[in-house]
Amino acid sequence: MADNQSPEVFGQTPWQTVGPFFHYGLPWKGAADLVGGSDIGARTDLFPTDHYLLNQPTSKGTVAGERIEITGRVFDAAGVPIPDAMIEIWQANAAGRYASADDARADLPLDPDFTGFGRSSTSKDGEYRFLTVKPGRVPGPGNTLQAAHIAVGVFGRGLIKRLVTRIYFEDEPANAEDPILELVPTDRRQTLIARRTGDGTYRFDIALQGENETVFFDI
């Protein structure tokens, strides 16, 4: 019988769902706060405190840029909020630079205290929440410049593999010239735009299916 060591089956390890019980293993306290020192992101109500082994929040230094809060809910086909999903984000800093060795643009400043990566479990009401800074613009294909955006991964029970989408911001005029939004059918683009709900606060709901199904990408 073949197994993972058999040369004839070598290839990408297949995706499998995170299932419903990932909370003590993946989203650490503070995972959804990219700028502060709060403990948002984890769901420690779902297991005994002496089984909390993940990272504890540390206070972050001063991160440059406009602080923003992004909240939203994750919905299934019937519009029912999903309480056992997890959202991951990946973004550039306010100067438009990624905290990654593969972003070699040394002319742009790195924030030593900004990793650009976050995780938020959804609450019992299906809501996630991130505290971060608004990302700067980054290059797109060819000589284009992308509008400010955040890459998003959606995980959960019933999601065999990650769904990938993006958050854009409704108050960014550059959305009109964004090379990725341009690839999305016009009538569905609004599913990728976070609504501004106040000073520095945005709402971005994610519909896995149904009337306003969010656009998901093949990357």
DSSP string, 94-141: TTS--SSTT---TTSPP-TT---EEEEE--TTSEEEEEEEPPPP-B-S
Is residue 142 at the binding interface for another protein, with CB under 8 A as the rule? yes
Amino acid at 116: G
Q: Which of positions 106-135 make contact with another protein (CB under 8 A)?
A: 115-117
Nearer to another protein, 68 or 86 (CB): 86
Name the residue nearer to another protein (CB basis): 158 or 197.
158
Instruction: Give min distance, CB of 176 to another protein, in A.
Output: 17
Residue among 37, 61, 109, 139 that touches another protein (CB under 8 A): 139
Residue 24 in the binding site for another protein (CB under 8 A): yes
Residue 180 Rama label (left phi>0; alpha psi -120 to 50; beta): alpha
Selected binder of another protein within 67, 157, 195, 203 (CB under 8 A): 157
- Stretch in the footprint of another protein (CB under 8 A) among 61-69, 125-133, 153-161, 197-205: 153-161
User: How far apart are CB 217 and another protein at their closest, in Å?
Assistant: 5
Q: How far is the CB of 107 from another protein (least distance, A)?
A: 14
Report the nearest approach of another protein to the CB of residue 2 (Å). Answer: 4
- Say how far apart CA 204 and CA 191 lie, in whole Å: 8
Long-range contacts of 59-63 (CB under 8 A, 24+ apart): 60/33, 60/34, 60/35, 60/36, 60/113, 60/114, 61/111, 61/112, 61/113, 62/113, 63/34, 63/35, 63/93, 63/94, 63/111, 63/113, 63/114, 63/133
- CA-wise closest residue to 179 among 138, 213, 209, 119: 138
Q: How far is the CB of 209 from another protein (least distance, A)?
A: 6
CB 94 within 8 A of CB 64: yes
Range 160-219, binding another protein (CB under 8 A)? 160-163, 179-180, 183-185, 188, 208-209, 213-219
Among 121, 149, 168, 175, indicate the residue that binds another protein (CB under 8 A): 149
Q: 50, 107, 125, 199: which one contacts another protein (CB under 8 A)?
A: 50
Q: Which amino acid is at 70?
A: I
Q: Give the shortest CB-3-to-another protein separation in angstroms.
A: 4
